[in-house]
């Protein structure tokens, strides 16, 4: 690697792709150094080696980013909506143009398979930006008829400066989920990437500038959660905060945001159930259950990590599930095409998953598959074997807590009523899945499950055109789809007196 100005570095990724990696804070359409001089080290989770260092924002840097966003808001909100949308469409085209570089960075920094980064994550970024770019000039108020004495109407107005804090499991995709509706509605943004995966968002920043967004509209920074994240959440110059991450951090953000009663959207933790009834297509249920928990190294907030199977088909399902894992879950170098599962994102996450393995053993659950570090990728990296526990009781820690790894528990139920009760016996309520060939039962169970999303005969096949979010301690509000726009506008009511005189 080489560096010329401490704001960029030329890198060569493991797949041979060379590119210029920005390392500064993207504020007001310029890359700048951190005022404190602090930096974050990006680690390749595949071989545990340092990739590079990037600047970490201080509270003063957050102030500068918020000030830039506030200044830009005055003009950005007045831009013709069709033109705003046009910039978003141009950005989506640039994402497509640079897709291979973006996917390379995402895989190198995060550990997810390159094929997934390219055809899944980066494609979703472009799709989400296009979807919301198309909405930019279709945000309408309405006229409300109250009688001839009054002309009443509503206006959909942007909120102002939006702070957005994204997680490390889908760095670029989660950025697009938040940037899309915010920009379409006329807001300006200060977005903080996760400190574990700081690289791809900075390359994306170069595309924001190339697309022609005015200075200050999109500000992209890195920094520690306890410094930059807290500064954003508690900043009185921020009108809204959107966060994706753990429930514990979500609670802290709510407390900080209360200082000026910010508008808030939270997408937090989950322990999503997948219900398999005895009339289900067992082979399909097993394959989808595998997708629902083992995709993205199990690092998915909606992962269906509690599989609940009707007693009559429990043993058959478990055997089919184990076979699906053996056939599909190829663990290895994420740049190899055959790889299904790469490393966990960090050493801390790797150790957390293995800690839950020990907890499951100590509580008496049966370790049916995996449960160990995987050492066949050069002896390095944060790899964990796909792990399945059976004979799990609802009192066990592994049944109740979010693990966030390739780790699933399989429990049994007798009746539909018991299945729903078990599914709902959690503090979370993000995703859920139901497998049955009885369409009436499917709709009935979907209605009774306490979750923001229910998949029937599939799992985790989300779509940017469909609302995404949870209930209970899995979050507040919705992202994606038309519903995602509501989080970034206020409805202003205008009452015009048409002749009533006092």
Helices (H) and strands (E) in the chain, counts: 16, 23
Name every residue whose Cβ is closer than 8 Å to that of residue 32 and which is 6 or more positions away in sequence. Answer: 7, 24, 25, 55, 61
313 labelled catalytic: no
Quote the tokens at residue 171. Answer: 């760095």
Q: Which value, to the nearest 10 degrees, does the dihedral of the CA atoms of residues 182, 184, 189, 191 take? A: 60
Quote the tokens at residue 357. Answer: 């393995």
Which one of 267, 385, 402, 479 is the catalytic residue?
267
Contact assessment for residue 222 and residue 28, using Cβ atoms and an 8 Å cutoff = no
Can you spell out the DSSP letters for 352-368? HHHHHHHHHHHTT-EEE
267 labelled catalytic: yes
Q: What is the CA radius of gyration of the chain?
A: 24
Cα–Cα separations (whole angstroms), residue 261 to 143, 155, 437, 457, 479: 29, 22, 47, 41, 20
Residue 452 is given by DSSP the state S
Report the length, in residues, of the chain.
502
Pairing of strands 30-32, 240-244: unpaired
Task: List residues bridging with 159 in a β-sheet.
Answer: none
Contact assessment for residue 115 and residue 456, using Cβ atoms and an 8 Å cutoff = no
Pairing of strands 433-435, 306-310: unpaired
In whole angstroms, give the CA distance from residue 136 to residue 86.
9
Which one of 162, 301, 313, 479 is the catalytic residue?
301
Can you spell out the DSSP letters for 210-267? HHTPPTTSEEEE---IIIIIHHHHT-TT-SEEEEES-HHHHHHHHHHHGGGT-EEEEE
Residues with a catalytic annotation lie at 267, 301
């Amino acid at each position: 690697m080489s560096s010329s100005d401490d704001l960029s570095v030329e890198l060569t990724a493991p797949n041979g792709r060379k590119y210029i990696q920005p390392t500064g804070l993207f504020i007001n359409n310029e890359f700048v150094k951190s005022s404190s001089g602090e930096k974050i080290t990006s680690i390749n989770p595949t071989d545990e080696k340092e990739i590079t260092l990037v600047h970490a924002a201080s509270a003063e840097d957050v102030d500068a980013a918020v000030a830039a966003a506030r200044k830009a808001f005055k003009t950005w909100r007045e831009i013709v909506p069709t033109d705003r949308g046009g910039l978003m469409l141009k950005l989506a085209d640039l994402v497509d143009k640079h897709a291979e570089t973006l996917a390379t960075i995402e895989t190198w920094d995060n550990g997810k398979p390159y094929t997934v980064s390219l055809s899944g994550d980066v494609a979703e970024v472009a799709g989400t930006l296009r979807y919301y770019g198309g909405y930019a000039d279709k945000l309408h108020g309405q006229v409300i008829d109250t009688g001839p004495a009054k002309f009443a109407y509503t206006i959909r107005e942007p909120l102002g400066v939006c702070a957005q804090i994204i997680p490390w499991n889908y760095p670029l995709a989660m950025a697009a989920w938040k940037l899309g509706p915010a920009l379409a509605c006329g807001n300006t943004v200060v977005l903080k990437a996760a400190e574990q995966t700081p690289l791809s968002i900075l390359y994306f920043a170069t595309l924001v500038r190339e697309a022609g967004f005015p200075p200050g509209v999109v500000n992209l920074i890195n920094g520690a959660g306890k410094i930059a994240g807290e500064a954003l959440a508690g900043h009185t110059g921020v009108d809204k905060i959107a966060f994706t991450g753990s429930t514990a951090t979500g609670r802290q953000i709510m407390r900080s945001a209360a200082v000026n009663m910010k508008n808030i959207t939270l997408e937090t933790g989950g322990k999503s159930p997948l219900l398999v009834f005895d009339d289900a297509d067992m082979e399909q249920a097993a394959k989808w259950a595998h997708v629902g928990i083992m995709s993205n190294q199990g690092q998915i907030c909606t992962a269906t990590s509690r599989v609940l199977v009707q007693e009559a088909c429990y043993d058959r399902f478990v055997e089919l599930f184990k076979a699906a894992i053996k056939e599909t879950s190829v663990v290895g170098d994420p740049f190899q095409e055959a790889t299904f599962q790469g490393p966990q994102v960090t050493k801390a996450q790797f150790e957390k998953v293995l800690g839950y393995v020990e907890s499951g053993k100590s509580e008496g659950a049966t370790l049916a598959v995996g449960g160990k570090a995987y050492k066949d990728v050069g002896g390095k990296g944060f790899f964990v074997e796909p792990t399945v526990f059976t004979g799990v009781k609802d009192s066990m820690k592994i049944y109740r807590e979010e693990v966030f790894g390739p780790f699933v528990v399989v429990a049994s139920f007798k009746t539909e009523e018991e299945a729903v009760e078990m599914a709902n016996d959690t503090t979370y309520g993000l995703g859920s899945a139901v497998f049955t060939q009885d369409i009436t039962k499917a709709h009935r169970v979907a209605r009774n499950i306490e979750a923001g999303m229910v998949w029937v005969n599939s799992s985790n096949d989300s779509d940017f055109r469909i609302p995404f979010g949870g209930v209970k301690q899995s979050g507040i509000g919705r992202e994606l789809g038309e519903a995602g726009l509501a989080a970034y506008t206020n409805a202003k009511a205008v009452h015009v007196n048409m002749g009533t005189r006092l």
